[in-house]
Amino acid sequence: MATSLDAQKIEDALRQRLDARMDSVRALVRSRQELDDAKAMLKAAEDEDVRRWNAALTAGWTPDELRTAGLTEPEKKARVRKRATRRNAPEQAPSPEPSLPGQPA
C-alpha cells in the first residue's frame, strides 16, 4: 500500500526546523554585537581614565600622592610590534656523512 506524501506538510516541518536553527544564529549575532559594543565602551572608559590620570598629574599631584589616596595608576597597554620580515636563512652545504671504518673517506 502506497502512502501519499503531503509536500506542504513536509515543507512546513522543515521550515520550522530551519527557523529554529536561524533563531539560534540570530541570538548569537546579537550576543556578539553586544560583546563588541561592551569592548568599545570599555576601551573608551580606559582612555578617559588615562586622560584624567594625566590631568591630575598635570595639576600637580604625584603618582605617590594619588596611590596614597587609593587611586592606582592606569594599566599600561602592551604595544604591538610589527613583525620583521622573515628572511630565508642562507643555505648551508650539507654536512659530509661520516665514513665507516674500512671505507675510503
pTM of the model: 0.57
In a domain, 32, yes or no: yes
In a domain, 44, yes or no: yes
In a domain, 59, yes or no: yes
In contact, 83 and 77? CB cutoff 8 Å: no
In a domain, 57, yes or no: yes
Residues 55, 57, 61, 63: is their CA dihedral positive or negative? positive
In a domain, 63, yes or no: yes
Three-state secondary-structure class, residue 100: coil
As separate numbers, helices (DSSP H) first and strands (DSSP E) second, the chain gives 2, 0
What residue numbers bound the domain in which 34 lies? 8-68
In a domain, 42, yes or no: yes
Over residues 48-97, the pLDDT tens digits come to 999 999 999 999 999 999 999 999 999 887 667 777 777 776 666 666 66
Q: How many structural domains does the chain have?
A: 1
Over residues 5-45, the pLDDT tens digits come to 899 999 999 999 999 999 999 999 999 999 999 999 999 99
Three-state secondary-structure class, residue 2: coil
